[in-house]
Amino acid sequence: MQKIETLSYAEQYKDAVVSFSPFVLHSTGIIQSQTSLKVDTYTLACVPYQLTMSKAILIGSFTKDEIVFFQRFVGALAALTLTVQRPTAKEPEKVFCRCQISTVGLMKGRDRVGLIVCDFKPIPPALAELLGEHLLGLDRLKVQWEDFKDKVVPVNPESSRHLGYNNYAVMASGTEQYKLALFSLAVNRLEFLMPLRSPDFAPGTQVSFTLYFQKFRFSVQGRIEVSSRLPTGVQRIRASLGFSPELCDLVSDYLFASRMAAKKA
């Protein structure tokens, strides 16, 4: 049964790319700092940057001379070890991947950041299952994002406590950043107050938000929908948001817990 499920994950998500973020680390349980790549007699400390069902893209700290040295191993077989902490396990487990090095180079625009691409020969079932479960959960969150659109959660001390909101958020527009005072949120929008001396933001302006929660700190792209000045001069804004797995996960958990509490009341 497990083999059938693993093969179906590898086929279903064969073109999917998992780029590492706090959400991906939480979802997969991969401990980035405990990743290693052994090639020939060398063991390299590196961290996953992207994973697919066919390859791993790793990054690490290397000098130009070290990159030139390790380029001699392009085409060689290597052993990649990932460490995973599953929620139900007391101890982390090791996932061993037999692979072949296809690329060794420096990341463009980043000094001393080396990039190593390894092709799986083939992907081990444990890793295929791990990535498949993460991607399946991501698909589920995308469905929930559609279901929970415009279901507004007022931001107050009680909701902040349940959401784990750290009462800190910033909006970036160009090179400028502004601290926000959130008063409501949903998976697809935010409503907030801007500082008194903030510039006027016209509807349609593209911005980005960084939100700070106990579970995640994450950024999400947005667009100003409505802005107005209150009699006090403070600017009130409603902005739409793109899909954020972190925010959808937090809001869906909060709404589910609220429904359960209401049934018990």
Q: Where are the domains of the chain?
A: 2-137, 147-258
Domains 2-137 and 147-258 share a fold: yes
Contact between 165 and 215 under an 8 Å Cβ cutoff? The reply is: no
Q: How far apart are CA 103 and CA 3, in angstroms?
A: 30
DSSP letter at 200?
A: P
- pLDDT score for 1: 45
The class of domain 147-258 in CATH terms is mainly beta
Contact between 224 and 204 under an 8 Å Cβ cutoff? The reply is: yes
Do the strands 235-241 and 217-229 form a parallel or antiparallel pair, or are they unpaired?
A: antiparallel
**Which residue, among 36, 114, 102, has the nearest Cα to 68 in the 3D structure?**
114
User: What is this structure's pTM?
Assistant: 0.87
CA distances 185 to 102, 159, 232, Å, are 45, 11, 23
The torsion defined by the Cα of 17, 20, 22 and 28, in degrees rounded to 10, comes to: 70
Q: Residues 6 or more apart from 227 whose CB is under 8 A from it?
A: 200, 201, 202, 203, 235, 236, 237, 238
∠ CA 77-81-87, nearest 5°, is 150
∠ CA 70-36-80, nearest 5°, is 85
Query: Alpha helix (H) ranges present in 97-189?
Result: 125-147, 157-163
Q: How far apart are CA 14 and CA 62, in angstroms?
A: 30
Measured N-to-C along each axis, helices 2-12 and 125-147 cross at an angle, to the nearest 10 degrees, of 60
- pLDDT tens for each residue of the chain, 265 residues long: 455 455 589 899 999 999 999 899 999 999 999 999 999 999 999 999 999 999 999 999 999 999 999 999 999 999 999 999 988 888 999 999 999 999 999 998 888 999 999 999 999 999 999 999 999 999 999 999 999 999 999 999 999 999 999 999 999 999 999 999 999 999 999 999 998 889 999 999 999 999 999 999 999 999 999 999 999 989 999 999 999 999 999 999 999 998 887 777 6
Contact between 97 and 39 under an 8 Å Cβ cutoff? The reply is: no
Contact between 255 and 151 under an 8 Å Cβ cutoff? The reply is: yes
Q: Decide yes or no: CATH 2.40.10.220 for domain 2-137.
A: yes
Contact between 46 and 53 under an 8 Å Cβ cutoff? The reply is: no
